[in-house]
Amino acid sequence: MIAALFSSATLAEQCHFWEVLAHNLTISVRAVWLDDGLSDADKVAQMNAINEFQHHVTAKIWQHRIKPDDWPAASFDAVIAGSSVRNHLESAVRSTARSVFDAGAT
């Protein structure tokens, strides 16, 4: 998912992607918090899972500027695929991709 987006992206676009994704993950947490269909325990579990992913994304922002190839985007794709909050993570990635990569196309 992310690796495919980066196939023709510049380093600046890739860095911006990670920054916007970190922001969009805060929106994902807000969506979980406001979901009246979830129990409090489920909310905490989902918010924790999103936060763990966000922790890696914010670390990647710094690391990507120094050595962009040391932590491949494909490793994030693997985490998303196996996540209990896959739908939230995929939604945040899609929203970020539209914002970063499609901004000039509209």
Angstrom CA distances, 56 to 62, 70, 105, stand at: 10, 14, 29
pLDDT for res 102: 87
**In this structure, is residue 14 part of a structural domain?**
no
Q: Work out how many domains the chain is built from and give that number.
A: 1
How far is the C-alpha of 104 from the C-alpha of 106, rounded, in Å?
6
pLDDT digits (tens, 9 = 90+) for 19-68: 999 999 999 999 999 999 999 999 999 999 999 999 999 999 989 888 88
**In this structure, is residue 73 part of a structural domain?**
yes
**In this structure, is residue 9 part of a structural domain?**
no
The answer to whether 18 and 83 are in contact (CB under 8 A) is no
Q: Where are the alpha helices (DSSP H) in 1-106?
A: 2-5, 11-33, 40-66, 73-81, 86-101
Which residue range(s) make up the domain with 74? 23-105
pTM of the complete model: 0.91
**In this structure, is residue 77 part of a structural domain?**
yes
